Amino acid sequence: MPDKKPHPTSHALRVIISGGGTGGHIFPAVAIANEVRRRQPDAEILFVGANGRMEMTRVPEAGYEIVGLDIAGLQRRLTPQNLLFPIKVMRAVRKAGKLIEKFRPDVVVGVGGYASAPVLLAATSRGIPSLIQEQNSYAGLVNKLLSRRVNKICVAYDGMEKFFPEEKLVLTGNPVRTEIASGNRAEALQFFGLAPDRPVLLVIGGSLGARTLNHATAAALPRLQAAGVQLLWQTGKLYYPEAAQQAAPFATDNLKALEFVQRMDLAYAAANVVVSRAGALSVSELCLTGKPSILVPSPNVAEDHQTKNAMALVRKNAALLVADNEAPAKLYDTALALLQDSTQQQQLTTQVLQLARPAATTTIVNELLKLVSNSSKS
C-alpha cells in the first residue's frame, strides 16, 4: 500500500502542477510555479502534461521540468480513439501514481486540460492535499468531476457554486504574470519597430490562433493601411505562413503578422486597442493591463464559455463584443471606430481596470501553502 501521507514538510516544499493543452492553462500554471519559487527558492516543482501538447515545450522554456502522459480528450463523435479512452485513462492514472510515489509531493495543483484528471485522481486516492484552479466562468468537465475529491477550488468569477461545492471555493481571479502590465510604451514601439505618432491595433487569437480573426484581419489590411493604423497580428503557428504572405505587401506600413508574441508585456504596452478571443487568460490580462478591447468569443469551446467570459466584461461596460459569425462584416468597422474614439477608449479602460485581480497568483499560492501546513499538522 502506498503511503497515505506526504513526506514531512521540514524538507524542501515539493509541488506537482498538472494540466495544459493551451496557453490559457499553461501560463497560469507557470505563474503559480513562479510565485511558489519566489517565496521558497528551494521548492521542487514538477509539471505533468500531455505528450504532444504545447506544454511539453512551453514549460521547459519557462525553466521547469515536465513529464508527459499519453492522454487525450474524448472526441464528440464515435471514433476508435474514444473506444480506447478508458484504457488510456487507466494507464495515465497508473503512470501518474508512480510519478507521485517517486516525487512525493506535499501538494498537487490542477489547472485544467487532459493531464489534470489522472494526476489528481492518483493524488487524491493517496491522501495528498490538492487544489484545482478554474479559469473560466463556466466550469470545465474535468474540474467538475474532480471537485468532490480535491480540498480547494480557486475560481476567477462569482457564482461558481452552481458547479462546485461552495465550502471549497475561493474567489481569487486568474493567475496572470504581473509583468504583463509593466511594459513601457516607448520601449514597446522600438521593440516592434512602430511609429510613435500612429495608433496601434493588437490582434490576438490565443496561443493556437483563430481562423475567424485571421480571415477578417487579412481582408481588412487595405482599410488599416488607408486609415494609418499599425498592426501587431498574432496569427498562431498553423495560420502564420499564409498570414505572413498576406501581410508582406503592407510591411512598410507597419502591418505585421507574428506567429507568436513572446513579449506580451510590450505588445500590450504598444497597443491602443486590442481585438481578442475571450479565453479566460486573455480576459484576465486585458483587465490587468486596462486595454480597451473588442472580444470575439470562439464558438468552438464547451458550453460557449468564451461568450460567458466576455459578457462578464460587456455587462459592466468594460469591453465591446462582436459575435464570431458577425466578425467578417462588423469587426473592423467596430475596431476602426474605437481607434478613432479616445473618449470611449478611456471609458473602457476605466471600467476594465476595476475588474482586475492583480493579487490572484499570491492568493492561490496562499491557499496552496495553507493546505500543506494543515496536512503537516494532521
Annotated binding site: 22-24, 136, 177, 207, 280-285, 306
Tally DSSP H helices, then E strands, for the chain.
Answer: 14, 13
Q: 346 Cβ partners below 8 Å, 6+ apart?
A: none
Q: Are strands 65-69 and 44-50 parallel, antiparallel or unpaired?
A: parallel
Phi and psi of 329, rounded to 5°? -90, -35
In the annotated binding site for UDP-N-acetyl-alpha-D-glucosamine, the residues are 22-24, 136, 177, 207, 280-285, 306
If you compute the radius of gyration of the chain from its CA atoms, what whole number of angstroms results?
A: 21
- Give strand ranges (E) for the chain: 14-18, 44-50, 65-69, 107-110, 130-134, 152-155, 169-171, 200-204, 230-234, 255-258, 273-276, 293-295, 320-321
- Which triple of cell numbers denotes residue 97? 501514481
CA atoms of 268 and 252, how far apart (whole Å): 22
Amino acid in position 148: R
CA-CA distances (angstroms) from residue 222 to 101, 310, 330, 369? 59, 28, 16, 53
Amino acid in position 15: V
- Closest to 171 measured CA to CA, from 202, 137, 120: 137
CA atoms of 168 and 152, how far apart (whole Å): 5
**CA 203 from centroid of its chain's CA atoms:** 16
For residue 255, give the 3-state DSSP assignment.
Answer: strand
Hey, what long-range contacts does 223-227 have (CB within 8 A, 24 or more apart)? 223/332, 223/336, 224/250, 224/255, 224/332, 224/336, 225/250, 225/253, 225/255, 227/336, 227/339
Amino acid in position 299: P
